[in-house]
Amino acid sequence: MPTEEHAQRGLRGGRMEAFSDGVFAIAITLLVLDLEVPGDTGEGLLRGLLEQWPSYLAYVVSFATVGAVWLGHLAVTGFLHHADVWLLRLNLLLLLLVAALSFPTRLLAGGIASEGDARVATVTYGIVLLAVAGALSTLWRYAVRQGLVHPDARDADVRRLTRALRPGLAGYVAMILLGLVLPLVAVLGYLVVAVAYLVPLRAIRPAQGNLSGRGRSTGATAYCPPCRRPPTRTPRHRTGPPGPCWPSSAPR
């Protein structure tokens, strides 16, 4: 039976995910507040709607981006066995950037149609997207490096998620540079990068049969970073460099 200590630890892990989902939900909802009904300009409602195309474009790109990051975060937390205080801090950093995305979205909507401001707005927007993607990738790499991933997770699935998070960083860097020359094309490129995140991430999930008994916690359970398994006296798992799972008498 689970002890009271285990229940408390699991509650903390659940609270981290619940809080994160709440921030994602609020951030993605705030994006729609920038869409306004056109005022009476005397030129007709249709013309007024068409003139707001920068706001529609910025909304779609940001919505797709937040959705992609949320799917990535869902995949990361799905592999976690437990968390530590630094993982929680990295998670807060990611949420800080996601929550702030409405500001560069508004900046992009207001500047993309202006020849003088389009480059500044596009590059600023891209830098924020790059920071968000970098924070998500750092969160996952830290979890793997510190042995926070569930020990029953398949190595192939772990590598797949690592590969799925990597191309977005290079894509955003390329689009930021492109934004200095062709701002509108770069914005469409940001959308392509978000869609490229969405497609593979939705298919990456831990094997539920293997992880059905997992417990989430913020406890300081010692795990072996090289092999992502709890320390044991028998050398059952010998991948990577020697770790705590190797007995002192085992050949190295």
Integer Cα distance of 241 and 236 in angstroms: 14
Tokens 């860097």 belong to which residue? Answer: 173
With a CB cutoff of 8 Å and minimum separation 6, the contacts of 176 are 123, 126, 127, 130, 186
Stated pTM of the model: 0.74
In the chain, the percentage of residues whose pLDDT exceeds 90 is 38
- Secondary structure (3-state) at 229: strand
Domains of the chain: which residue ranges? 4-211, 222-252
Residues 184-203 pLDDT 10s = 999 999 999 998 877 765 55
Confidence of residue 205 (pLDDT cuts 50, 70, 90): low
* Residue 100: pLDDT band with limits 50, 70, 90: very high
Higher pLDDT, 16 or 137: 137
